[in-house]
Structure 1
Amino acid sequence: MGLPLGGDDWVAPEIPWEIQIEILIRLPAKSLMRIYAVEFLAVIIDFSDRFSALESNHSSYQSSPINRYYCTAASTPRLYMSLMYTIPHESVLLSLSSSSNKDKSLHPELTMPGMGGRYMVVLRGLILQSVCNKARIHNPTTRQSITLPAVKSSIFVQGEPEKHVHYYFGHDPVLDQYKVVCIVTFFSGKYNKIITSEFWVLVLEAGGSWKRIEFDQPHLANKQGLCINGVLYYISRTLTIVTFDVRSEEFSTFQVPHSLADPLTLIRAGFIEYGGKPAIFDHTKLVPMGLVYLWVLEDGGKWSNKSLVLQPRQMRLFHKNSIPLIVHGTTQNGEVIMAPYQLLSPYYIFYYHVEKNDLRKVRIRGIPDPDYWFGKPHLGMYFRIMDKSESIMHLEI
């Protein structure tokens, strides 16, 4: 016979660790951070170590792998805007929000001076940027940032002046691992002759370090990449789609469609995710002709395509002397984000819904220090939508 509830000698049974995990997974990130702040579960940083020991048991009663880094659902997606000027080095990262998708303006809800960078990549609640040829990862939920160690490239050692460094960010959903890929290329002339390339990968975890991997096709990486179901995709200047399996760390390539074999067209076109697949969004004839071409990489390396024509009422959203637009990814509901490459006041960005063939125009308001940023030549400007994931992953290396 058990002791009466509330008796002096009664001790509440300990909640099994795996049950604690399941409870915490279902909490929003802000609630988890409050728990962390009062040190109620300060061991949350060490979850990943204990998760590894539980994965085999966990898989027996749940089909999906344990989310070791606690990606939880945010209330609404956020649009991040990164501004960076090289000389002198100044940068800012803005988190923009609106009350609904129908709003005609966006306002900064958070301004982070010094946190901007180049080639912004957003993945499962984390942001990767390139700063002075090094990769920096920022977690906007925890306000934590780390700079990854420099790659020990032989190209750097030789001091080659014409070199290009590009970073990509991937996630393996099976092992729940984040990996950063670095490609260093030495070229001659205006990107016309690729001399050599080095390929490096780093697992984002305590003690992680750069490891060189072999790939016999030197190339100059172009465009920000996509990570879809554990595979990284990006476009190279050799007119190929390069893929990298995050788990096996193996490369492969696909040729781009013949009609996109013009390097200038490929450079100007956008590279987006469409229907869970990589796609080339050719908007080079959007202004003034109102034409868009979409090429989707299907299974087996085959390409499908369709043409879209905007209506005259949609074309009126563009100014007659519109500045060329750059594609900055897509929203969760399939809208392609396009923004003028130059920051002028007033500043508008465009959302184009491929399925509905609909275009809307949204003004960006509240950019800090407008006299400094507006009209600045050679300004690095990047937009990325943070999906509804929030992460309380503790960043360390």
Structure 2
Amino acid sequence: MFELAQQSLQILYYGVSQPPSTSRKPSSCNASKGENSAESIPVDLIIEILLKLPLASIASCRCVSKLWDSTIRLPHFTESILARSKLLFACKRDGNMCFFSSSQPQNPDENSSPIAADYQSSFNFCGDGRKLSRPVHGLIILKYYKKETKERVMEICNPSSGQSLTLPKVKTVRVDVCSFFGYDPVDKKFKVLSMTKLRSRGDKRTTEHHQVLTLGGTRKLSWRMIECSLPHYPLSDGICINGVLYYKAEVYRFQSRFQCRYGIICFYIRSEKFKFIEKQLLPSKLLNYMGKLAILKWDDDFKMVIRSNSLELCVLEDRKKHEWSTRTFVLPALWNDVVADVTLDIVGVTRGGEIVFSPLHSSDLLFLIYYNPERSTLTKVDIQGMDAFKHCIVHTFLDHVM
């Protein structure tokens, strides 16, 4: 079973993104510069390697050598980066979680042409309370509850290939378990962080039984207990950026056990250590802004951004010093005319800096709204090809790696 699980995991991830072959020999002209030189690697293999890396790592690789810098600047390399990154749509129907993908529109405020969504895969979960993690390096965790067996199930899924792997049960007698999904770009390992939610006297909420499951490597897939020195209670889904998992939480480590502070938990995937950044959060959403953690806040307490007059974007510039930069954007006057009475979800921020919104429920037509804060423009882009999922809840994700 162990070998089968490891083989399934490799197929799950590498079935779509095969690691570059190491059997090639460097060309004679490059080999003469020495096997340890960056130039000893053929250009086509350099491109193949770079395309496997996160965007932030690709930017850092420009410092490796002049050859790598010039390679990254090649027009067809940029096109390859854009081609590998897609919009991903997930929606539930008849006990299945179905996935669609489409290309990400370029310069949407200049071109609002409709884009077509193509069917990718579906996963049957035969249960209730299904939840999705945000995509992490091409993979998603699907969580649901089986009424028949009263079990909570977690499956790691590859929407592009349709492959999935059921994870071992979390070691706990409690029912209320929350889990987060992350990736360590240094060791190239996926990890799942799980903890049991508790509510004690004085209405204090906290967690226990902090556990980690490492995906990859040669060890058997099993949960390991880890220490957590920060009594806290998660308040949001997680977002993984450059090897750090972030989620909103209330923390109890201060003068009174029954007083809490609100902020962000930073879980370092590689070291498995917890840190806390105090920050006013509500109402807000955690986003990836150009490879940095960002908080998008609005000025009233509606469910999603729809009636607000302004947005505040706080970007974590220095994680160790807890330094933030803050910008406030006043929405255009035609905002309410464009969104009408639709309840919107905040999808994320594009590489070009546009803030993207989508309807929480699909109506007659699914669409995205791109807000360019620099130009103060709004663009509505229609999504075609998902007519069968009208009036379903649709989850939209940016920059999904195919």
Question: What TM-score do the two structures reach when normalised by structure 2?
Answer: 0.66
AA at the equivalent of 2:103: S
1:385 aligns with 2:398: yes
Q: Is the 8 A contact 1:98 1:105 kept in 2?
A: no
Q: Is the 8 A contact 2:96 2:124 kept in 1?
A: no
Rounded Cα–Cα distance in structure 1 between residues aligned with 2:82 and 2:163: 18
1:77 is matched with: 85
Q: Is the 8 A contact 2:120 2:159 kept in 1?
A: no
1:344 is matched with: 363
AA at the equivalent of 1:302: E
Q: Secondary structure at the match of 1:174?
A: coil
Deviation at 1:178, TM superposition (A): 2.0
Deviation at 1:291, TM superposition (A): 0.8
1:173 aligns with 2:185: yes
Cα displacement string for residues 74-116 of structure 1 (whole angstroms, at most 9, x for unaligned residues): 625211111136xx63321221336644344332212423368
Q: Secondary structure at the match of 2:385?
A: coil
Q: Is the 8 A contact 2:207 2:231 kept in 1?
A: yes
Q: Aligned ranges for residues 140-151 of structure 1 at < 5 Å?
A: 140-151=159-170
1:105 aligns with 2:114: yes
AA at the equivalent of 1:82: A
Find the partner of 2:101 among 95, 98, 104: 95
Q: Is the 8 A contact 1:96 1:110 kept in 2?
A: no
Cα displacement string for residues 278-322 of structure 1 (whole angstroms, at most 9, x for unaligned residues): 111013555434211112223111333221112224543121xx2
Deviates more, 1:245-254 or 1:99-108: 99-108
Q: Is the 8 A contact 1:121 1:129 kept in 2?
A: no
2:326 is matched with: 305
Rounded Cα–Cα distance in structure 2 between residues aligned with 1:283 and 1:90: 34
Q: Secondary structure at the match of 2:230?
A: coil
2:268 is matched with: 245
Q: Secondary structure at the match of 2:174?
A: helix
Deviation at 1:243, TM superposition (A): 0.2
Deviation at 1:385, TM superposition (A): 1.6
Q: Is the 8 A contact 2:122 2:162 kept in 1?
A: no
Cα displacement string for residues 170-220 of structure 1 (whole angstroms, at most 9, x for unaligned residues): x2222222222223313379x953153332211111523211111133433
Mark the CA change 1:137 to 1:334 in structure 2 (over 3 Å): closer, same or farther: farther
1:42 is matched with: none
Q: Aligned ranges for residues 275-294 of structure 1 at < 5 Å?
A: 275-285=290-300, 287-294=306-313
Rounded Cα–Cα distance in structure 1 between residues aligned with 2:387 and 2:196: 34
AA at the equivalent of 2:293: P
Task: With a CA cutoff of 8 Å and minimum separation of 6, indicate the structure with the bigger relative contact order.
Answer: 1
Rounded Cα–Cα distance in structure 1 between residues aligned with 2:352 and 2:172: 40
Question: What TM-score do the two structures reach when normalised by structure 1?
Answer: 0.67
Q: Aligned ranges for residues 183-332 of structure 1 at < 5 Å?
A: 183-187=195-199, 193-205=204-216, 206=218, 207-238=220-251, 239-257=262-280, 260=281, 265-266=282-283, 269-285=284-300, 287-299=306-318, 300-319=321-340, 322-332=341-351
1:359 is matched with: 378
Rounded Cα–Cα distance in structure 1 between residues aligned with 2:169 and 2:43: 37
Q: Which runs of 5+ in 1 are unaligned?
A: 1-13, 33-58, 64-71, 157-162, 391-397
AA at the equivalent of 1:282: K
Q: Aligned ranges for residues 134-145 of structure 1 at < 5 Å?
A: 134-145=153-164
Q: Secondary structure at the match of 1:75?
A: helix
Rounded Cα–Cα distance in structure 1 between residues aligned with 2:142 and 2:353: 24
Rounded Cα–Cα distance in structure 2 between residues aligned with 1:301 and 1:91: 38
Mark the CA change 1:360 to 1:198 in structure 2 (over 3 Å): closer, same or farther: farther
Q: Is the 8 A contact 1:165 1:182 kept in 2?
A: yes
Q: Secondary structure at the match of 1:152?
A: coil
AA at the equivalent of 1:308: F
Deviates more, 1:195-204 or 1:133-142: 133-142
AA at the equivalent of 1:89: G
Cα root mean square deviation, aligned = 3.7
Rounded Cα–Cα distance in structure 2 between residues aligned with 1:358 and 1:368: 28
Q: Looking at CA atoms only, which structure, 1 or 2, has the larger radius of gyration?
A: 1
Deviation at 1:227, TM superposition (A): 2.0
AA at the equivalent of 2:298: H
Q: Is the 8 A contact 1:93 1:115 kept in 2?
A: no
Q: Is the 8 A contact 1:28 1:73 kept in 2?
A: no
Q: Secondary structure at the match of 1:369?
A: helix
Mark the CA change 1:135 to 1:313 in structure 2 (over 3 Å): closer, same or farther: same
2:12 is matched with: none
Cα displacement string for residues 343-395 of structure 1 (whole angstroms, at most 9, x for unaligned residues): 3223333222344443222223322534xx51x5xx4x3211234x44xxxxx
Rounded Cα–Cα distance in structure 2 between residues aligned with 1:183 and 1:256: 22
Rounded Cα–Cα distance in structure 1 between residues aligned with 2:124 and 2:387: 14
Rounded Cα–Cα distance in structure 1 between residues aligned with 2:325 and 2:48: 41
